[in-house]
């Protein structure tokens, strides 16, 4: 199989690597090229171009437009007949123009992770349908959002459920998930550390390729560990928004969400997104503040008090929202079926 795979964000890089591992486990002969980070490159992906520093938000993306343009051009040059599938994971604004061009050339195009049509720009469904042969959705309500198009949208479930491990929480241990992007570390790490300065042990979760270690102060209380270990050992946690919030909730860790972006990104986002009350996935899925969240405005004292009051998340309710385990296996089945 000649697979052209693009995953330009850390969470997408991890997801793509999990799929590649499953294909190799099945003994699928695989020629793998595209765009990916450290996880995919460790899995054997031959990169077409260096990745821009991971960025999310209007201002953050604007700062890396040149590198993003070069990435897109490299991907477009490779999306030619002879490629079995172009698999684009998340980042729809980056991927849809390439996927549309590739599909016109006769290449099968698959998207993994639906754009958040339920939050903003629902009219995008027509552009998504024009660009993709098939779309793999994380949540059960998403395929219905493409009604009125000919898109083959499938609900696969959320991979966070497959990552759940038995917990062994240690008394007094707090885990921090400040993010992996440089901008996320700049905005979250300092207040997270200050909020937990009285904790006996602080586990700071590190993503592959992150510059976290270079930003940490010398402090014997701080221990850099992988995300999975932090979730297993933590009694409580403090996290930025993103997939990590759903993983924490599915693990049953009491936690608090705090997230900041550039002020311009925040101002534009408030105007574009209407009717959405929450940012954290557990709250969006349960339609209430099941987990305390702070968006843009918070102090270390706010976080410290909220962390002390954090209670167990509604794990069973969320499991019902994200579908059964086996997401990666189902993705591999669909990829190999070719339709």
Q: What is the pLDDT of residues 223-278, one digit of tens each?
A: 999 999 999 999 999 999 989 999 999 999 999 999 998 767 766 666 656 557 78
What are the structural domains of the chain?
2-157+323-337 (3.40.50.2000), 163-321 (3.40.50.2000)
- Measure the CA–CA gap between 304 and 338, rounded to whole angstroms: 50
pLDDT for residue 267: 66
- Measure the CA–CA gap between 94 and 49, rounded to whole angstroms: 15
Q: pTM value?
A: 0.86
Burial class (CB in 10 A: 0-12, 13-18, 19+), 197: exposed
List, for residues 57-91, the tens digit of each pLDDT value: 444 555 567 788 899 999 999 999 999 999 999 99
- Measure the CA–CA gap between 143 and 154, rounded to whole angstroms: 6
Classify residue 275 as left (phi > 0), alpha (psi -120 to 50) or beta. Answer: left
Residue 125 CB coordination number (10 Å): 20
Work out the mean pLDDT of the chain and round it to a whole number. Answer: 91
Residue whose C-alpha is closest to residue 188's, from 249, 235, 257: 257
In sequence order, which residues have a C-beta less than 8 Å from that of residue 35 and are 6 or more positions away?
5, 6, 7, 8, 47, 48, 49, 51, 71, 74, 75
Burial class (CB in 10 A: 0-12, 13-18, 19+), 12: buried
pLDDT for residue 236: 98
Check: CB of residue 203 under 8 Å from CB of residue 174.
yes
């Amino acid at each position: 199989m000649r697979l052209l795979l693009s995953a330009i964000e850390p969470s997408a890089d991890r997801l793509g690597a999990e799929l590649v591992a499953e294909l190799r486990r099945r003994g699928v002969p695989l020629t793998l090229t595209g765009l990916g980070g450290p996880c995919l490159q460790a899995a054997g992906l031959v990169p077409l171009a260096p990745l821009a520093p991971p960025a999310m938000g209007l201002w953050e993306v604007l700062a890396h437009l040149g590198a993003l343009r070069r990435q897109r051009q490299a991907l477009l040059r490779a999306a030619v007949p002879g490629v079995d599938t172009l698999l684009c994971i998340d980042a729809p604004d980056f991927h849809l123009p390439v996927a549309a061009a590739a599909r016109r050339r006769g290449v099968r195009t698959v998207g993994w992770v639906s754009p958040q049509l339920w939050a903003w720009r629902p009219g995008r469904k027509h552009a998504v349908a024009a660009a993709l042969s098939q779309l793999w959705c994380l949540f059960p309500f998403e395929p219905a959002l493409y009604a009125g198009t000919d898109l083959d949208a499938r609900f696969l479930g959320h991979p966070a459920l497959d990552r759940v491990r038995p917990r062994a929480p240690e008394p007094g241990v707090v885990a921090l998930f400040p993010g992996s992007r440089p901008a996320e570390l700049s905005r979250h790490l300092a207040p997270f550390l200050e909020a937990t300065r009285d904790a006996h042990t602080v586990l700071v979760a590190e993503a592959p390729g992150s510059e976290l270690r270079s930003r940490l102060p010398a402090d014997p209380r701080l221990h850099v560990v992988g995300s999975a270990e932090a979730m297993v050992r933590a009694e409580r946690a403090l996290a930025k928004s993103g997939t990590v919030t759903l993983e924490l909730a599915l693990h049953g860790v009491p936690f608090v969400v705090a997230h900041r972006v550039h002020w311009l990104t925040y101002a534009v986002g408030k105007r574009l997104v209407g009717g959405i009350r929450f940012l954290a996935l557990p709250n969006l899925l349960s339609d209430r503040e099941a987990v305390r969240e702070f968006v843009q405005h918070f102090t270390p004292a706010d976080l410290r008090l909220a962390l002390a009051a954090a209670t167990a998340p509604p794990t069973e309710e969320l499991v019902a929202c994200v579908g059964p385990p086996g997401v990666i296996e189902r993705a591999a089945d669909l990829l190999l079926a070719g339709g």
